[in-house]
């Protein structure tokens, strides 16, 4: 699933800017900028909290991070650059399944006024998988352990 195609199908967006990796000119993410002044950052390049976390940096011009990911890292900030935190104090939310991106687009598009913290449904399966990933990461195990 191409992330860009998914974003183009969403009526709520107003502007999509690709985030380009300097060493190989590959797209490593997108910034979706809304009329309400908020920006949703969707990242999937190497080193991001996505399926591509363990990839090595490369100067290969043929690299396509978007085709190789099933999860993304997201973050949100307001028009003044103030980051919106997630419950637990994190400023980014990692390993979000691609099919959940549209939910976050709708959520951020609906922001009005000042938002300081996301409140997420902790009962959902992707939330549990995300928390499990962090448990294993903090215990020193590779994120690849979860993909077996």
Residue 135 forms part of a structural domain: no
Establish if 73 belongs to a structural domain.
Answer: yes
Number of compact structural domains in the chain: 1
Residues 80-121 have pLDDT tens digits of 888 887 777 788 889 999 888 888 888 888 887 666 665 555
The CA-based dihedral angle spanning residues 140, 119, 5, 28, taken in that order and rounded to the nearest 10 degrees: -40
- pLDDT class for 73, splitting at 50, 70, 90? very high
Domain that residue 73 falls in: 3-121
Per-residue pLDDT, averaged over 1-30, amounts to: 79
Q: Quickly state the pLDDT bin for 1 (edges 50, 70, 90).
A: low
**49-67 pLDDT, tens per residue?**
999 898 887 887 778 888 8
Residue 141: inside a domain:
no
Is 96 part of any domain?
Answer: yes
- Using CA of residue 10, residue 70, residue 132, residue 138, what is the dihedral sign? negative
CA 19 to chain centre: 12
């Amino acid at each position: 699933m191409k992330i860009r195609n998914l974003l183009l199908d969403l009526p709520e967006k107003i502007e999509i800017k690709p985030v380009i990796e300097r060493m190989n000119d590959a797209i490593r993410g997108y910034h979706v900028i809304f009329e309400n002044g908020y920006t949703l950052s969707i990242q999937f390049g190497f080193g991001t909290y996505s399926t591509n976390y363990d990839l090595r940096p490369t100067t290969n011009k043929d690299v396509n991070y978007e085709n190789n990911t099933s999860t993304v890292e997201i973050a949100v900030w307001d028009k003044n650059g103030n980051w919106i935190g997630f419950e637990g104090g994190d400023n980014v939310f990692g390993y979000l399944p691609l099919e959940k991106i549209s939910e976050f687009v709708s959520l951020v598009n609906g922001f009005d006024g000042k938002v300081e913290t996301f409140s997420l449904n902790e009962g959902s399966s992707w939330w549990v998988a995300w928390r499990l990933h962090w448990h294993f990461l903090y215990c020193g195990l590779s994120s690849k352990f979860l993909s077996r």
